[in-house]
Amino acid sequence: MRIVMLAVGFASALVFITASATMNFMFTFSLGKTPFEGQILGAVSVAADIIKALLPVLIMMAAKARRYVFVGIGTAVFVFFSTFSMLAALGFAASNRGEVTGAKTGLNTRQAEAAQQLKAIEDRIKLLGNYRPAVVIDELLAAAKIDRRWQATASCTNVTSPASRTFCDRYYALRAELGASDEGKKFEAQAEVLRQELTALKARGAGSEPDPQVRILSKIFGGESEGIERLLIVVGATLVESGAAFGLYLASGSRSGELPEHSPPEREKKKRRKNKPKKVMPPILIKRPASVLQAQVLKPQTLAKGLIAEENS
């Protein structure tokens, strides 16, 4: 079970380290004037992040071994590298969140503009009134031009009677309806383009809140959106950097404080105590009375005489 927990802990620590190194690399890479300079800066930031992750374990081991010079230097380097990584993580988180929210805000702005344009075009179409298709109107105009009144009025330029006036009024009404039909057709095409754009914008996320997390927190705590957004950026960067800095140390548990076999004098002293031979106590001589010693000497002879007597009987 302990091995499984250690494996999971080290895997989680490696995820934090990878995330921190990637964030630092991407941010410092963007600071380079050329791609090559960006790669150099990114590689340096990754190396600093890896050393930062190893330093807590090494500092603890050095402290147990009483190597205080290493502890002092390692602590100073750890603080410097952690500060550098934190600043890079803040830059990356701020730029990333700004781009995401900015893109959503841009989509919402364009959606509002397209909806406003569509409404204006639909209102102009309504002002045109009802009209028939242009093909039908063209046929009616062609039929009017073969009417005898068309010739009599010299193409409706010489109106002399009420009948011809009625005919020409109807002809010009058809011309006006044809113009409305052409204008309406153009507006309908524009409206269709805007409808398709609105559908595409909605599929890309337009109409949704640019940053729902900020909106909910601002409603709960009553703060300004900009301040809460900055706080979330700091919290996210701190989460990644703290996990990358102390992940290996925390995942190793108590083993991070154990020392190498060659370093601690205490371990050598314990081995010497364990392998030291035990002292053997010398025998203790007990003085006994002479009568007791004489009885112990004569006892085997008495026993032998008893056995001879039994055999003779």
Instruction: Tell me whether residue 297 is in a domain.
Output: no
Could you tell me the pTM of the whole model? 0.57
Range of the domain at 34: 2-259
Mean per-residue pLDDT pooled into runs of 10, the chain (313 residues): 83 92 92 90 92 92 91 94 92 85 86 92 85 84 85 84 87 86 88 91 82 80 80 90 90 57 54 61 54 50 50 50
Report how many domains make up the chain: 1
Instruction: Tell me whether residue 271 is in a domain.
Output: no
Instruction: Tell me whether residue 68 is in a domain.
Output: yes
Instruction: Tell me whether residue 270 is in a domain.
Output: no
Amino acid 71: pLDDT: 92
Instruction: Tell me whether residue 295 is in a domain.
Output: no
Amino acid 263: pLDDT: 47
Residues 6+ apart with CB under 8 A from 183: 128
Instruction: Tell me whether residue 161 is in a domain.
Output: yes
Instruction: Tell me whether residue 88 is in a domain.
Output: yes
Amino acid 67: pLDDT: 92
Amino acid 222: pLDDT: 78
Instruction: Tell me whether residue 277 is in a domain.
Output: no
